[in-house]
Chain A
């Protein structure tokens, strides 16, 4: 039906986005001023190279030959999952990425769910009590929360709860020293994750709240709410079954999309907590001028966003019967039954 055609159209767009990302990765080191080798090896190494070695390096990096040849070699590399070698770590970019992904997923996944649950409940509550004092109180609080940069919340938490009070570790995802038990390991991981998860939750809960509130207000104003109320159903069913069920549609889309953006957005918070996820890796590659790594992270995060988009598109019909494809035919529409 219509929805399917829309998804097909979108897939075309996603392919285009990946293509654009690849092109950005390809073009930036070549467009940027100075020696492109600089971006791949760093200054110290470059100064030690002879002219011949440089020539060789150019070729091995796919920087020799015409631009089209270079582009072709580059694309071939990407499709065989060869993103090059990390300058900082000296191993394949993909290897470093694989090591970091689980940590980011742990942080972002937990935080997203928390933020969704809190944001949606608060938003629904607020909308139901629109204009009352408690609505305005929550609204002001959430707007303020929305105005606080996530990394600053992180710095404050770190100073207060980790450094001053010593309740939590100050950096990393696991301690250097382990007691060897599984239970001990889990406790260690959790204690490292609590502050970052809390920070990401606080940094994202505002947008979930605001979206829920406005989308609830929208559905509360609909005719079907008047009709449902006139049936005499209870307040709870009115809020949850009728209003929230409809309001959830845009929230669901927003949620799946934020999964993707958060992969990249966690960069500042992971940096604050020195948490070894994808975001921190991006920051490290910047400071270490590890350009192959930087490109790899950028590509990975883009893929994450696109994957999230695709999941949102494909699963949306589960939540909205109007775009669902009905398998069984219900017979022709009988107007004058």
Chain B
């Protein structure tokens, strides 16, 4: 029996929800043309099927990806899920269907369009996560470290463990302006909190002094005779500058 393709899936936007879409697709023999979540609900002519997130089904799918495809494939899928790629859900579903058929070697098929899209997107998310390990800047307010980031992808799940490992005794907050989510680390506890808006408060004298010191260091360390703005821009794209201390006012 051919798979039914004239259908769209609506899920709750969580990773588990997406895995349940995969589950549904297999057990109902359906190949949805669109998968979207409540937040980005779109007009479609196809009948929309609501997928209820079921933790057991999600666990099953997650386990099977690791077993039948590979741990690497699971990593790719997870990274893609956090990306801002258009139609990422359908691409992930197609990739997983290929993977179940071909097995662990699917991640080597770099010239295949779906695999290429997945690897490229995962690479993009991974590198943006790394950029934020580098270019994120904390400011201190009464002993609490606060930073604002504006990433294209949802990088907090990849970036925050790095800072938790680095500053185990600190309290800090990283606010993702794009996705309107704050990551809070306090006394070893980690939380993601939806937060509509957030601005950095006025800095106190000590914080201002460290900012001035850092700016001075930044400007002094450059060698005038070697000035190379293009190289700097290549290494540190300008969209990161907005929230970096060295470029503040």
Partners in one complex: no
